[in-house]
Amino acid sequence: MPATQTDALLNRVRSDLRRSDASPQQLRCALAEVVPAAEELLAQVADLQGQLAQARTCPVTGLPTRSAWTARAQDVLAAGPAAVLLCDLDGFKPVNDRFGHAAGDAVLAAVGVRLAEWAAVEGAAAGRLGGDEFAVALHDAPGLAARVARLHTLLTAPVAYRDLNLSVGASIGTARTANLAAPDLSAALKRADAEMYRAKGRGRRGRRLARITSLRTPSGREFRHAAICNIGALYLAATTVGPSLRNGLSGAAEALSQIRI
């Protein structure tokens, strides 16, 4: 029924119910007209609530979207000392690029299930902010580091997809409202974001150092030989530049030849 017709019906029934001379039969007839309209309105409300719930839930992970999570996180922070976690999946894009979006969605779905289960145990509010970034708000309590470590283990476990085991890493940044000058959600997210990228930086530096230390360190004789050869090549290339550059390179080569390492 169109909204204008519904309004007209309700106004007429309201008027009938207010009449002091209305008979029971008239009142029953008026109510009988209202019931179908009320049922239709209730069905429309339920449909709208379902649409709203879908809009506030990520269809891939089943987690609340950013706006829905924000509302829940604010409630958590309002209840007392809390912690906010930001998690970014490391190596997700290569999985998506190499195996396709279906594989990427499988990883996101698995992460969503694991994060939701962990949050249910911890009494936390978890959500997907977008892409491969997730957020959690939970009450601060002793053993927070161990709880976050357990979450990291869950998120980085391999994901079965067809005949493959897909693996991603996870960088998690933690912000405790007790350590913030302004213990609001905005400040907590900013601190957690900084900690998350600090965790990413440690991981990248660690991998670079592992590659560097695996290289063989050259001996002093090898170092001198390589340096002199390179300077000699520069000297030949500089013959058209001028005597000052040639003299400088020649002097550098002579000095290196005298080094005893």
DSSP state string for 140-160: --TTHHHHHHHHHHHHTS-EE
- Residue/partner pairs of 142-149 with CB below 8 Å, 24 or more apart: 144/83, 144/174, 144/176, 147/122, 148/85, 148/172, 148/174
CATH number of 66-213: 3.30.70.270
Handedness of CA 199, 203, 209, 210 (dihedral sign): positive
* pLDDT single digits (tens) 122-157: 999 999 999 999 999 999 999 999 999 999 999 999
Mean pLDDT of the chain: 78
Helix 185-213 / helix 66-78 crossing angle, nearest 10 deg: 110
Q: Confidence class of residue 202 from pLDDT cuts 50, 70 and 90?
A: low
Handedness of CA 120, 124, 129, 134 (dihedral sign): negative
Q: From the candidates 88, 105, 132, 184, which is the catalytic residue?
A: 132
Instruction: Report how far apart, in Å, the C-alpha atoms of 44 and of each of 36, 37, 57 are.
Output: 12, 11, 20
* pLDDT single digits (tens) 46-100: 655 554 454 579 999 999 999 999 999 999 999 999 999 999 999 999 999 999 9
Other Cβ atoms less than 10 A from the Cβ of 234: the count is 16
Looking at the whole model, is its pTM more than 0.85?
no
Residue 159's DSSP bridge partners are: 166
Q: Which of 189, 110, 37 is nearest to 45 (CA)?
A: 37
**Per-residue pLDDT at 2 exceeds 90:** no
Decide if 132 is catalytic.
Answer: yes
Question: Hey, where are the domains in the chain?
Answer: 3-55, 66-213, 220-257
